Amino acid sequence: MSASILDGKFLSQKIRASISADVLDWVEKGNRTPKLQVILVGENPASETYVGAKTKACKDVGIESDTLILPDTVSEYELKGVISEFNKDQNTDGILIQLPIPDHIRKLSIIEAIDHRKDVDGFHPMNIGRLTVGQPSFRPCTPAGILEMLNYYSIPTKGKHAVVVGASNIVGSPVAVMLSRENNSGKATTTICHKFTKDLTKHTIDADLLIVATGQPGLITGQMVKEGVVVIDVGITRVADHTTERGYRLAGDCDFDTVAEKASWITPVPGGVGPMTVAMLMKNTLLAAKNSIYTD
């Protein structure tokens, strides 16, 4: 078999066009333009690129955005003060803290400081908890983007064996929840693998659907998967490459060529999951503006 491409770039553009129309409609009905507030702490080239991608997406779909840049010396207390102001601000619909943040700030404590009704990243325990019990919530953008892709390409998950490699709060853990639940969800049998998994291949070889989110370039090779597997590669690591203008290239967690030989479907890197993540952020921000998840 030779894999077909799950084209996240194409699908994200389609979704963004539809969100664009929805934003226009919302504003034409007399509502305020939706607004996303981004907070960037310190200087990190990759983070700056991601924030650039997000604010450009906002501009494209007609969502207002503002980026507050704070020095990496900012204290947890000061950062919480800033978040509290945006929580109160009637013109701010969504609040996004670009990760990673410096180690002296407790990440989970900062995430909890965001009003869950403005948590468009879907990382607040209220949203994760609601997702886990099947209540309406902001879905974390990358897992939501993955499920949108599977749905668009009519890839069935019901009764399939989904294997998730990587157990982060941002991708692995919530995507496993979304794939495994019985109602309004993936209905798959799900295995979560992580750094303590003893024999990774024993699990990956049995996957009908393999989601890899470890940030280890080339971790998954063709010998580790079965014929016909659907592979979602969430990894996006900058690898030094002096033959390119920027001096690096982006590498996924899969050895693309050997995995694509056996897979039925595979996401490319770049142009796979990444653009879907950004599109889902736009979707969540419009939902936040419409207050359609939390109606109080």
Per-residue binder mask for ligand BQF (CB under 6 A), 233-252, x = binder: ---x----------------
Measured in whole angstroms, how far is the alpha carbon of residue 97 from the centre of its chain? 14
Q: Which is nearer to ligand BQF, 38 or 287 (CB)?
A: 38
Can 54 be counted among the known catalytic residues?
Answer: yes
Range 88-107, binding ligand BQF (CB under 6 A): 99
Q: Does 275 bind ligand BQF (CB under 6 A)?
A: yes
Q: Which is nearer to ligand BQF, 5 or 99 (CB)?
A: 99
Q: Pick the closest to residue 34 from 276, 294, 296, 284 (CA basis).
A: 284
Question: How wide is the angle at C-alpha 206 spanned by C-alphas 204 and 212, nearest 5°?
Answer: 30
Return phi, psi of residue 58, to 5°.
-55, -50
Q: Which is nearer to ligand BQF, 167 or 205 (CB)?
A: 167
Non-local (6+) Cβ contacts of 196 within 8 A are: none
Which residue has 């470890």 as its token pair?
A: 214
CB 96 to ligand BQF: min, Å: 8
CB 250 to ligand BQF: min, Å: 7
Q: Does 267 bind ligand BQF (CB under 6 A)?
A: no
Question: How wide is the angle at C-alpha 282 spanned by C-alphas 281 and 285, nearest 5°?
Answer: 85
Window contacting ligand BQF (CB under 6 A); options: 61-69, 81-89, 161-169, 270-278 = 270-278
- Residue from 26, 222, 270, 290 touching ligand BQF (CB under 6 A): that is 270
- Residue from 278, 286, 287, 288 touching ligand BQF (CB under 6 A): that is 278
Task: Tabulate helix, strand, coil % of the chain (nearest 5).
Answer: 40, 15, 40
**Residue nearest ligand BQF, Cβ-based:** 274
Helices assigned H by DSSP within the chain:
8-28, 45-61, 76-88, 107-113, 125-132, 141-152, 172-180, 200-204, 256-262, 273-290
- List, as one string, the DSSP characters of 81-114: HHHHHHHH-TT--EEEEPSP--TTS-HHHHHHHS
Q: Which is nearer to ligand BQF, 53 or 70 (CB)?
A: 53
Q: Does 53 bind ligand BQF (CB under 6 A)?
A: yes
Window contacting ligand BQF (CB under 6 A); options: 72-80, 258-266, 273-281, 283-291 = 273-281
Q: Which is nearer to ligand BQF, 11 or 79 (CB)?
A: 11
CA distance 296 to 293: 9
- CB of 244 within 8 A of CB of 99? no
Q: Does 277 bind ligand BQF (CB under 6 A)?
A: yes
CB 39 to ligand BQF: min, Å: 12
Can 29 be counted among the known catalytic residues?
Answer: no
Q: Does 271 bind ligand BQF (CB under 6 A)?
A: yes
CA distance 293 to 166: 28
CA distance 162 to 267: 16
CB 116 to ligand BQF: min, Å: 20
Q: Does 274 bind ligand BQF (CB under 6 A)?
A: yes
List the catalytic residue out of 7, 22, 37, 54: 54
* Residues within the interface to ligand BQF (CB under 6 A): 50, 53, 99, 236, 270-271, 274-275, 277-278
Active site residues: 54, 98, 121
